[in-house]
Amino acid sequence: MAPEEFPVDASSAWNILEYFRKQRDSCGAIPDEHTVVVEGFTDEIGDPRLIVHSALGRRVNLLLGIVLERLAHERTGVECQMFANDDGVLLRVADADRLPLNLFEGLTAERSREIVLDDLMASPLFGGQFRQNAVRALLMTRPMPGRRTPLWLQRLRAGDLLQAARAHADFPIVIETVREVLNDVLDLKSFLLFMQQIERGEVRIHTVQTETPSPSRPACCLTS
């Protein structure tokens, strides 16, 4: 596409084309609706990082991050830090030489669903949503008028309640929180469709190891 075909001035068009050119030169591919780029690199202090460039939005990428975090832990034996936003997923670990780039290899939609359901309740997102639901259901005491309960204490009490509730698979607040997180906060349906597209080869996975992060790295890579 020539610069004159963009609905912007010549300088802006040149900057857009240059941005895409640098991304292509850095990774060999540009992430889009049919391409996911898995990029590994080492940060400024020598820790390995892995970026999954996925333009699926935060509601899907957070679910993808939960799955990839589990797989990275299984393959490296160390705990990872996971961040996700609208543009992708970032995994960071301090105690491994390199994060595996082939996390999607052999991964199915059904396996992804199992990991999400297994690990969801341990996520900070689920804990925060459960705390809100527990307060609304009067399972946790509300603070007295004019007094504030510290957030750490709220989290501690909600964590104790959730720990007790896990012993009962049909506990209503747990069921409602799972439904709410997977359907309202996140988007399980779109995530599973995406994983099925990968299985069928409709979405390709392009992997690359770079010396420095590529231009289109997600914002979470800059702020982590």
> Can you read off the two tokens belonging to residue 136?
């609304």
pLDDT of amino acid 96? 73
Residue 192 forms part of a structural domain: yes
Angstrom distance (rounded) from CA 142 to CA 39: 46
pLDDT of amino acid 151? 58
Q: What one-letter code names the amino acid at 62?
A: L
Residue 8 forms part of a structural domain: no
CA–CA–CA angle 98, 104, 110 (5° rounding): 140
Residue 139 forms part of a structural domain: yes
pLDDT of amino acid 126? 78
Angstrom distance (rounded) from CA 41 to CA 212: 6
In this structure, what are the phi and psi dihedrals at residue 85, rounded to the nearest 5 degrees? -150, -165
- Ordered DSSP codes for 49-117: EEEEE-TT-HHHHHHHHHHHHHHHHHHHSS--EEEEETTEEEEE-SS-S---S-TTTT--HHHHHHHHH
Structural domain of residue 197, as residue ranges?
Answer: 28-223
Residue 16 forms part of a structural domain: no
Count how many residues are written for the chain.
224
Mean pLDDT by 10 residues, the chain (224 residues): 68 84 87 91 83 92 95 88 92 80 93 92 77 65 60 58 62 80 92 95 92 71 49
CB atoms within 10 A of CB 64: 24
Longest dimension (CA), the chain: 64
CB 50 within 8 Å of CB 40 = yes
pLDDT of amino acid 114? 95
**DSSP structural state of residue 184:** I
CA distances from 47 to 15, 17, 177 (A): 31, 31, 35
* First-residue to last-residue Cα distance in the chain: 35
Residue 140 forms part of a structural domain: yes
Residue 1 forms part of a structural domain: no
Residue 143 forms part of a structural domain: yes
How many Cα neighbours within 13 Å face the side chain of 41? Answer: 18
Residue 6 forms part of a structural domain: no
pTM for the structure as a whole: 0.78
Domain count, the chain: 1
